[in-house]
Amino acid sequence: MTSGDGVRRGYYVELNPSTNEKEIFTAEISDDWLTLSNPVSTGFTDGGSMAWGVPDAVLLPNGNVRLYWVEDPPAGGREHREWIVSATSTDSSGTSFKKDPGQRTTGGYVDFEVLQAKAGDWIAVMSSTPETLPSQPQGLFVGTSKDGLGWDVNPENLAPKSMSYLDPTGVAIGPNQWQLVLARSSNSLGDRDYTLVETTLTMS
């Protein structure tokens, strides 16, 4: 993404060898898209969590950046499934962040990808936890929001249930329409083979 100060940057997870923890970093991307430079830690680490990471960066209407990623909630309770959390940058550089309170989604949604971040009109796609395999597939779900913090996720799986679909990403191809690319795999536990598939999402 291009941050509010005009710098093209990426956000990714890296293993810190000194702490043995996974950590979200950001770095500048070269003009040919092949080189990362000037890496900076965002300060967010996994804390030993198993389900963690997959950051998605979004440019806010005010020029700041928001990061979304998966966290593993504390063990216990009726449902031990992943959360989506977020942090918002303190300025337009997108390098220093403050974590937003609470969770964006609960109940096992993962691979969060914001497609649209307009003032009062946000749209995201996401997958569901692999913890339900093989009885329930990983599916494709759509969420809407007014501010990118409080999300209403439609519980209907839009993908065929004969396979699992995960890691969606998308680009706008028209008004209220996005081309999505997803990974597809069998509804099985353990090692799986993956293929990339595409589809079109249209919002009315």
**C-alpha neighbours within 13 Å on the C-beta side of residue 80:** 7
Q: What pTM does this model have? A: 0.93
Show the tokens assigned to 47: 């804390």
Tell whether the model's pLDDT for residue 17 goes beyond 90: no
Other C-beta atoms closer than 10 Å to the C-beta of 11 total 18
Element housing 200 (H / E): strand 195-202
Domain boundaries, the chain: 9-163
Q: Name the CATH superfamily housing domain 9-163.
A: Glycosyl hydrolase domain; family 43 (2.115.10.20)
54/180: higher pLDDT = 180
| Phi-psi domain of 183 (left: phi exceeds 0; alpha: psi -120 through 50; beta: other) | beta
Task: Evaluate whether 61 touches 37 at the Cβ level (below 8 Å).
Answer: no
CA distance 25 to 15: 10
Q: Using an 8 Å Cβ cutoff, are 94 and 26 in contact?
A: yes
Mean per-residue pLDDT, 94-117: 96
pLDDT grade for 179, boundaries at 50, 70 and 90 = very high
